[in-house]
């Protein structure tokens, strides 16, 4: 069966077992990894057949919306593939699709969203590791996420010893990238799970804290009161573990960095090349420059 369709980056897909698309030197495979959940696998095509490091991306949207192939996600995946990385942009269960993810959302429901997304991420990585037709370096997997997706990857990386997460099949990762994300308890970071990390965050983010504060800055008497540890708190734990990190922050910025993080391709590439692949010990905090285009409220 031959089916043609267009996607946001104007690729044409031909479906034969798995769907493939090609634009210049990038091939995109669309696969179903679990139930109805899909991933888009971007693979740079070159004469060099050496396995490429893999970036696994989770989109934002407050666990209620968002797309693996949205404009920002597609642009980022294509840019990273052009730099020689394999990239997988995954869909996951939108557990808050009909429920707000703010101060009116029960704390238990917020945690359920974190857990469900971590389960789906684990399933996607295990699927790709077992799929022999996907060529990438299985020893160099970097998790990346925006907003809710960043919370998902941070919980996957750093909360695996929490009783609510330890049922999830473990995945081996080499690094983590967060665009405006946080974790519910940075105290679970230890020598056993500390990995090089890149954080891009607005210091005045009103949804996800830069330091330690309640999610959406909810008051204690609200149903959705849930304390989160943002990048400033997380890097203090990584420092104690002598683990590399880059914390890039905008002193006047807000949650728009969940989107603007996709534009920081050079910073992301430097992080992977130097801190992940090169294993350089870097503990860097620096200011970001605001971009012209920004969209907020994804989480």
Under the banding of pLDDT at 50, 70 and 90, the label for residue 3 is very low
Domain at 18-287: CATH code = 3.40.50.1820
Using CA atoms, how far apart are residues 153 and 122, in angstroms rounded to an integer? 10
Using CA atoms, how far apart are residues 136 and 48, in angstroms rounded to an integer? 12
> Where is average pLDDT lowest: 36-50, 62-76, 148-162?
36-50
Under the banding of pLDDT at 50, 70 and 90, the label for residue 24 is low
Q: Report yes or no: 194 and 243 within 8 Å, Cβ to Cβ.
A: yes
**pLDDT confidence of residue 293:** 52
Give the mean pLDDT of the chain. 90
* Size of the chain in residues: 299
Domain boundaries, the chain: 18-287
What pTM value is reported for the model? 0.90
**pLDDT confidence of residue 50:** 82
Model pLDDT for residues 44-53, shown as the tens digit of each residue = 987 567 899 9
**pLDDT confidence of residue 14:** 30
State the average pLDDT over residues 138-142. 98
Rg (CA), the chain: 18
State the average pLDDT over residues 21-35. 83
State the average pLDDT over residues 239-261. 97
Tokens of 295: 């969209």
* pLDDT greater than 80 at residue 2: no
* pLDDT greater than 80 at residue 63: yes
Using CA atoms, how far apart are residues 146 and 66, in angstroms rounded to an integer? 10
Buried b (16+ CB within 10 A) or exposed e, 38-61: bbbbbbbeeeeeeebbbbbbbbbb
Model pLDDT for residues 79-138, shown as the tens digit of each residue = 999 999 999 999 999 999 988 899 999 999 999 999 999 999 999 999 999 999 999 999
Q: What angle do CA 119, 260, 283 make, to 5 degrees?
A: 75
Closest by CA to 245, choosing from 158, 168, 170, 185, is 158
What does each C-alpha distance from 10 to 4, 13, 23, 57 come to in angstroms?
A: 12, 9, 8, 20
**What number of CA atoms fall less than 13 Å from residue 251's CA on the CB side?**
3
State the average pLDDT over residues 260-267. 97
> Where is average pLDDT lowest: 34-48, 61-75, 182-196, 232-246?
34-48
């Amino acid at each position: 069966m031959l089916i043609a369709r267009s996607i946001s980056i104007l690729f044409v897909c031909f479906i034969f077992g798995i769907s493939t698309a090609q634009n210049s030197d990038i091939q995109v495979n669309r696969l179903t990894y679990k139930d109805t959940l899909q991933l888009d696998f971007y693979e740079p095509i070159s004469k060099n057949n050496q396995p490429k490091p893999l970036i696994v991306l989770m989109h934002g949207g407050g666990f209620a919306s968002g797309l693996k192939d949205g404009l920002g996600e597609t642009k980022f995946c294509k840019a990273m593939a052009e730099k020689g990385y394999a990239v997988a942009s995954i869909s996951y269960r939108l557990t808050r699709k009909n429920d707000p993810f703010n101060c009116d959302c029960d704390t238990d429901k917020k945690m359920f969203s974190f857990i469900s997304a971590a389960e789906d991420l684990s399933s996607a990585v295990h699927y790709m590791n077992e799929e022999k037709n996907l060529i990438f370096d299985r020893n160099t997997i970097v998790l990346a996420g925006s907003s809710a997706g960043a919370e998902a990857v941070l919980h996957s990386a750093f909360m695996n010893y929490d009783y609510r997460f330890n049922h999830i099949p473990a995945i081996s990762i080499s690094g983590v990238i967060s665009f405006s994300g946080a974790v519910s308890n940075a105290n679970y970071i230890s020598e056993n799970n500390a990995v090089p990390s890149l954080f891009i965050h607005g210091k005045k983010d009103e949804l996800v804290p830069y330091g330690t504060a309640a999610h959406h800055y909810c008051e204690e008497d609200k149903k959705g009161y849930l304390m989160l540890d943002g990048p400033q708190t997380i890097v203090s734990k990584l420092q104690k573990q002598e683990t590399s990190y880059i914390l890039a922050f905008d002193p006047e910025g807000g949650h728009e960095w969940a989107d603007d993080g996709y534009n920081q391709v050079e910073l992301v590439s430097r992080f992977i090349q130097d801190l992940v692949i090169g294993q350089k010990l870097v503990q860097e905090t620096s200011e970001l420059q605001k971009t012209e285009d920004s969209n907020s409220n994804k989480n």
